[in-house]
Amino acid sequence: MFKLIAVAVLLTEAHAVEFQFVNNEIGAVWVGIQGNPDKENLADGGFVLEAGAVTSVQAAEDWAGRFWARTYCDASSNHCLTGDCGDRLQCQGNGGAPPASLAEITLKGADGLDFYDLSLVDGFNIRIAFEPVDGTGDGGEYSCKKATCNYYFNDDCPEALRLTSDAGVVVGCKSACLAFDTDQYCCRNSYGTPDTCKSSDWPTDYPSYFKAQCPDAYSYAYDDHKSTFTYATSSALELRTLDANDDWSGHFWARTWCNEDNNHCLTGDCGNKISCSSADFTPPVTTVELSFGETDQYYISLASGFNILAEIYPVDGNGDCSSASCQSRINKDCPDALKVDTEHGVLACKSACVAFDTDEYCCRNDYASADSCRSDSWPNSYGTFFGDRCPNANLSPYDSHATYTCRADTYEINFGG
């Protein structure tokens, strides 16, 4: 007799959303990142991007915030002439000092669409573009299209708007609000509405200078809404069905951030191979454990840490047959001591055993029993951290509180979501 195991991976959700940064300038820039209120500051707020380099950062599917490039930066002081966020490489929640070209995005906004734009409301410091990859649009001019500002305003910036270095080099082009700080140019107080703040009524229509060369970008606070682009993320669900003997037992896991050139993955790696054969995973990794017998047993385990959402449930089974799952995005608030923190962001969250390798955390030697290995008695409350977020998962080798039983011919396993 054989049983069926259906393994599903939601491809676009396995890494949530990925932002790729490309530096096409001739020198290094320092990327700045600021999440909106209650949103994560990705990559702790910034990193160095060398000329010609490409770096990716992972974000939650509902993230919102802004990106900008800091230019003319000094590694000895951590200050930059444009886009500066204080004496730090990672902005850690600070915004960038204008003038700075901005890329802004809201994921999963109204009607589930992603909204993105380029903004020169705070002035210009560098050419910038924003383009969705593999998204779904409606064919409209502003649906799922590349937004770009490819004109170098510093070359002919109006004199009144220039930001110059001590050497006399124009390093940025200010907005009228930044340069003159008047209510009219800043669209505030009696000019604080779209009807009262029209650049065509200003003493000098500076936004038209920016808009003429970069029509895709917002040029002032009440610029027309047509510079907002939208797209829908493509969601591809890949399903694969496996046969197993009715006495089979083992575990499943998802490998993430994989490189097809060398067959290695940043989490869950099993060597330079696609089919792991008998090779086990490299933690941290979320595992789905399953054992067939007179009564089948199954559960989600975080004993080796967490890297991705996971779920298992029986199809048309007999018995309790509840779903076992871990549906909390643990990576986003993983304790510092447990983080797998890379240039792509936090990709996984280690278990205490993986992080510290002590007998107590690893439930071995004097702690190798259910009575002696209790996560609620550990030196730090790491078990509580995981348990609060995924109460339907087992946390250590001797934890069985979330082990489920059933008798079914088919089980479905989902990763991502």
Q: What is the pLDDT of residues 175-201, one digit of tens each?
A: 999 999 999 999 999 999 888 999 999
In a domain, 283, yes or no: yes
**Pair (42, 141) in one structural domain:** yes
pLDDT level of residue 137 (50, 70, 90 thresholds): low
What digits encode the pLDDT tens for the residues 20-52? 899 988 889 999 999 999 899 999 999 999 988
**pLDDT recorded at residue 13:** 40
Q: What percentage of the chain carries pLDDT values higher than 90?
A: 53
Q: Looking at the structure, do residues 120 and 78 belong to the same domain, yes or no?
A: yes
Q: Predicted confidence band at 375 (pLDDT cuts at 50, 70, 90)?
A: confident
Residue 2 within a domain: no
The pLDDT of residue 231 is 62
Q: How confident is the model at residue 236 (pLDDT cuts 50, 70, 90)?
A: very low
Same domain? For 60 and 104 the reply is yes
In a domain, 101, yes or no: yes
Co-location of 227 and 282 in the same domain: no
pLDDT at 39: 92
Last residue of a domain, one of 233, 256, 284: 233
Helix (H, G, I), strand (E, B) or coil at 200: helix
Residues 34 and 165 in one domain: yes
Pick the last residue of a domain from 167, 199, 233.
233
Is residue 87 included in any domain, yes or no? yes
- Give me the pLDDT at residue 67, please: 95
Residue ranges of alpha helices (H) inside 168-240 are: 176-180, 183-186, 206-213
Q: What is the DSSP letter of 99?
A: S
| Residue 298: burial class (beta carbons within 10 Å; 0-12, 13-18, 19+) | buried
Q: Please tell me the predicted confidence (pLDDT) of residue 343.
A: 75
Q: Which of 69-73, 230-234, 339-343 has the lowest mean pLDDT?
A: 230-234
Looking at the structure, tell me whether residues 213 and 282 fall in a common domain: no
Pairing of strands 135-136, 114-119: unpaired
Record the tokens describing residue 354, joined without a space.
Answer: 């993986």
Closest CA to 406 of 339, 330, 328, 319: 319
**Given a cut of 70, is residue 265 above it in pLDDT?**
yes
What does the mean pLDDT of the chain come to? 87
Q: Would residue 9 count as lying in a domain?
A: no
Where is the domain boundary, 233, 256, 288? 233
> 80 and 168: one domain?
yes
Strand positions, DSSP E, 220-285: 229-233, 237-245, 249-253, 256-259, 264-267
Please tell me whether residues 178 and 277 are part of one structural domain. Answer: no
Quote the number of domains for the chain.
2
> Is 267's pLDDT higher than 60?
yes
State the residue range of the domain holding 168. 17-233
The answer to whether residue 329 scores a pLDDT higher than 70 is yes
User: Could you tell me if 153 and 257 lie in one domain?
Assistant: no
Model-level pTM? Answer: 0.56
Per-residue model confidence as pLDDT tens digits over 393-417 = 999 888 999 999 999 888 888 887 5
In a domain, 240, yes or no: no
Q: Are residues 195 and 229 in the same domain?
A: yes
For residue 61, the model assigns a pLDDT of 84
Write down how long the chain is. Answer: 417
225 and 264 together in one domain: no
Q: What is the CATH number of the domain that holds 143?
A: 2.60.110.10
- CA 5 distance to own-chain centroid: 30
Per-residue pLDDT for 203 more than 90? yes
Contacts of 398 (CB under 8 A, 6+ apart): 363, 369, 370, 373
Residue 90 lies in a domain: yes
**Two tokens, residue 385:** 């951290």
Average pLDDT score over residue span 3-7: 54
**pLDDT value, residue 12:** 42
**Digit-coded pLDDT (tens) for 78-136:** 999 999 999 999 999 999 999 999 999 998 887 778 888 999 999 999 999 988 876 66
Beta pairing partners, 31: 47, 69
Q: Which residues pair with 243 in a beta bridge?
A: 4
CB 96 within 8 A of CB 31: no
Residue 348: closest CA among 260, 283, 269, 408 = 283
My answer on whether 221 and 282 are in the same domain is no
Task: Assess whether pLDDT exceeds 70 at residue 240.
Answer: no
Residue 44 lies in a domain: yes
